[in-house]
């Protein structure tokens, strides 16, 4: 009997130890994630259902759009899954990057690999057919992006007509543009028949920050109840830099005071605006939420409930 018990323990204990070590490694975030500095997990408590609402996928199997000078390096679905494990992210939103123009094949392929935990934001122009919009909707696309920083496959004149076409599907318009251009589009954006989402804090330049007209405009649109802001890319407009990004952090905190029910968080991985040798630490970017949103219930809302409402994730 004792021999049998010892034999069982000899089999079970190493397995238990292996599981323990695996969990310890996962908790520490051991392992390198492409295009992300550091290996540690975030210190912030990430709730079940936490959602990364802004990241990109680049895959060399898919050709870049005509006129794109530099072919982006791969940042694949497999690579992103490593970031998910490191951060503890459950769900996420794949955003079409400018490199692929209006050919959404890459993100659609990635979304198939990710399954139901992913939604997507496509890029289309006014030539898109109703049949294509329906196909994208069935694949999990929930909005269209206009990226004017830098200018790409779409123009400001396309915003209003495309917004009218997508409104009935429950989609939204997502905008990435510099602050002055956003201000110049105020009338168009205020009249949209669908929700509006601003990338990367809406890019208030520093040191103006919350005193810049773009923050005032976005605050007015938030108060109207149809606009959302992504708490993402703290590095995009900072003059202070890491680890605190104190200047852009002040903008994020101001949005939290204004309309926490209209905010979502995004990693912006693989950080295409940042040089390859200066990629940020994604865990530390996520940890900024502890400073921006000290209230745990509000953090849960921003990471879980708001994305459910905006992207149609199941509660």
Contact 107, 94 (CB under 8 A): yes
Contact 140, 153 (CB under 8 A): no
Query: Could you tell me the sign of the dihedral formed by the alpha carbons of 127, 163, 179, 100, in that order?
Result: negative
Contact 248, 201 (CB under 8 A): yes
Judge if the upstream peptide bond of residue 213 is cis by omega within 30 degrees of 0. no
Contact 103, 68 (CB under 8 A): no
Query: Could you tell me the sign of the dihedral formed by the alpha carbons of 216, 199, 194, 257, in that order?
Result: negative
Active site residues: 268
DSSP-assigned letter for residue 304: I
> What is the spatial distance between Cα 231 and Cα 265, in angstroms, rounded to a whole number?
5
> What is the spatial distance between Cα 217 and Cα 166, in angstroms, rounded to a whole number?
24
Of how many residues is the chain composed? 315
> What is the spatial distance between Cα 92 and Cα 52, in angstroms, rounded to a whole number?
4
Helix (H) or strand (E) holding 314: none
Contact 203, 237 (CB under 8 A): yes
Beta-bridged to residue 120, according to DSSP, are 94, 141
């Amino acid at each position: 009997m004792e021999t049998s018990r010892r034999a069982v323990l000899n089999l079970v204990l190493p397995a238990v130890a292996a599981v323990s070590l695996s969990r310890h490694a996962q908790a520490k975030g051991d392992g390198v994630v492409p295009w992300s500095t550091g290996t540690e997990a975030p210190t912030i408590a990430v709730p079940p259902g936490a959602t990364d609402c802004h990241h990109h996928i680049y895959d060399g199997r898919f050709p870049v759009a005509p006129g794109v000078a530099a072919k982006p390096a791969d940042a694949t679905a497999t690579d992103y899954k490593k970031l998910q494990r490191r951060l503890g992210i459950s769900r996420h939103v794949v955003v079409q990057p400018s490199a692929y123009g209006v050919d959404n094949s890459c993100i659609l392929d990635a979304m198939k690999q990710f399954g139901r935990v992913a939604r997507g934001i496509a890029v289309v122009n006014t030539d898109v057919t109703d049949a294509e919009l329906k196909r994208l909707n069935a694949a999990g696309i929930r909005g269209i992006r206009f990226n004017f920083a830098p200018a790409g496959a779409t123009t400001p004149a396309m915003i209003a007509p495309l917004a009218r076409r997508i409104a009935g599907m429950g989609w939204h318009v997502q905008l990435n543009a510099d602050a002055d251009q956003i201000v110049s589009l105020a009338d168009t954006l205020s009249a949209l028949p669908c929700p509006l989402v601003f990338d990367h804090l809406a890019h208030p330049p520093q040191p103006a920050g919350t005193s810049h007209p773009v923050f005032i405009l976005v605050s007015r649109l938030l108060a109207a109840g149809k606009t959302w802001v992504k708490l993402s890319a703290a590095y995009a407009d900072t003059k202070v830099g890491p680890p605190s990004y104190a200047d852009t952090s002040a903008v994020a905190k101001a949005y939290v005071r204004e309309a926490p029910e209209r905010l979502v968080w995004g990693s912006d991985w693989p950080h295409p605006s940042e040089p390859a040798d200066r990629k940020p630490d994604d865990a530390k970017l996520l940890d900024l939420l502890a400073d921006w949103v000290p209230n745990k219930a509000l953090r849960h809302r921003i990471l879980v409930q708001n994305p459910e409402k905006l992207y149609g994730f199941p509660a």
